[in-house]
Amino acid sequence: MAATPKIVYAIATMDTKGREIEFVAEILANSEAICQAGLTVRTIDVSTTRASELFDLDLTGLDRSIAIELMSQALAEFLTKQSQSGQLVGAIGLGGSGGTALIAPALRALPIGVPKLIVSTVASGNTAPYVGCSDLVLFPSVVDVSGLNAVSTRILANAANALVGMLSGTRPELTTRRALAMTMFGVTTPCVSAVRQALENRGYDCLVFHATGVGGQAMEGLVQSGLVQGVLDLTTTEVADEVVGGVFPAGPKRFDSLAQRNLPCVLSVGAMDMVNFGAIGTVPEPFRNRKLHIHNSNVTLMRTTPEENRRCADWMALKLTRSLGPVRVLLPLGGISALDSPGKPFYDPEADEALFERLEESCRGFANIRIERVDAHINDQQFVERVLATFDELAT
């Protein structure tokens, strides 16, 4: 039986960037490392002004935005199948704003760790719409991707050689340990670090995500991919930003992975006493007279109110009650962040109690969800031990 070919794809709208992508493909194909590895380099034309035999699409005459969306979907489906079959080992794209918008979703859909890069005119500023929560690399084109000249040839060659490095460089051995996804924020670091260290000592591979909106969303994607065997979502502060309007929102799909995969989950309400904003001058006018805490020159925190906490509990409960697997919610009565304890700026037992009571009420009657109050602060060793014992109960 013939071996499965290993392919590196070079992607561009070849009606406008044919010379440029062929230049990149030639560098890749002539690379000593690519040749020694026995890899094949193939170009993909994602032009939207003509018919595509590869994707069986004829986009002529369609509105450009619609054509880009259809071609992007077709490319994503094709590359995903190539990856799942073991043929695709890496990909590089070229694009302006339209080409990047077309190619980026397809490369984002590839598994984490698969080398993927786009030389783009929009590889600066807010790149979140293109990169999302993936490990896609955006490579600044400096000049427009339009013609081969003294600058563009250097940039394109550097990008091609960067991909060669990703494909040929030394890689660590894949771990055989069971992976766990965890969330952490600066004000819950003592708790999460202690839990992580204990679980790593037991042989788990702990993947910690910073709860800054993108962090939680990245964790959701990893859970959905099937790469983790359990979740310790101890820092759910992104919910407060989602509900109240902070800069680290959870996003509409937060917790949805629990409704798609049957995984044990230990959850807490870490740092839900706060909503995050930028520098003090960026705090929206309606919140200027609230209880604010300057974390640093670029981060201002606002204490959540009892009513906001009830709304946060409702938002969480709507998601948690759809979960397939067992969920254990641990509520630390002594405070839910480093700023929420006696003498600290966000200490407010009434606001915490509003959150706790509404969560208990909203999740009552669901057999797979159990909520437990723990008479300790979230960063206390007593709470850490309860988290570990609870996880052990679910994992056995």
What pLDDT, in 10s, does the model give residues 194-222?
999 999 999 999 999 999 998 998 899 88
Strand-strand pairing, 205-210 and 299-303: unpaired
Same domain, 318 and 184: yes
> How open is the CA angle 365-313-132, to the nearest 5 degrees?
115
Same domain, 20 and 82: yes
Same domain, 272 and 158: no
What CA–CA distance (Å, rounded) separates 101 from 7?
Answer: 23
Domain limit, last residue, from 122, 142, 168:
168
Which of the four pLDDT bands, split at 50, 70 and 90, describes residue 4?
A: confident
For the chain, give the mean pLDDT: 93
Q: Which residues contact 1 (CB under 8 A, 6 or more apart)?
A: none
pLDDT for position 291: 96
Same domain, 49 and 86: yes
Same domain, 201 and 292: yes
Same domain, 230 and 121: no
pLDDT for position 174: 59
Same domain, 47 and 103: yes
Cα-Cα end-to-end distance for the chain: 42
Q: Please report whether residue 173 resides in a domain.
A: no
Q: Which range among 139-148, 170-179, 263-272, 318-327 shows the weakest confidence by mean pLDDT?
A: 170-179
Q: Please report whether residue 104 resides in a domain.
A: yes
What CA–CA distance (Å, rounded) separates 300 from 343?
Answer: 19
Q: Helices 152-168 and 14-30 sit at what angle, rounded to 10 degrees?
A: 50
Strand-strand pairing, 179-184 and 137-140: unpaired
Same domain, 198 and 132: no
| Structure-token match 């964790």, residue found | 219
Q: Please report whether residue 1 resides in a domain.
A: no
Residue 120: CATH number of its domain: 3.40.50.12020
Mean pLDDT over 346-358 rounds to 98
Q: Please report whether residue 234 resides in a domain.
A: yes
Q: Which residues contact 129 (CB under 8 A, 6 or more apart)?
A: 101
What CA–CA distance (Å, rounded) separates 331 from 290?
Answer: 25
C-alpha pair distances (Å), 155 with each of 13, 16, 140: 18, 18, 8
Domain limit, last residue, from 115, 148, 168:
168
Mean pLDDT over 60-70 rounds to 89
Same domain, 41 and 122: yes
Burial class (CB in 10 A: 0-12, 13-18, 19+), 78: middle
Number of domains in the chain: 2
Signed CA dihedral, 92, 96, 99, 101: sign only: positive
In the predicted structure, residue 303 carries a pLDDT above the cut 70: yes
Q: Please report whether residue 174 resides in a domain.
A: no
Domain limits at 353?
A: 179-395
**pTM recorded for the entire structure:** 0.77
According to DSSP, residue 175 is labeled P
Domain limit, last residue, from 168, 187, 202:
168
**Backbone angles phi and psi of 382, in degrees to 5:** -60, -40
Same domain, 104 and 188: no
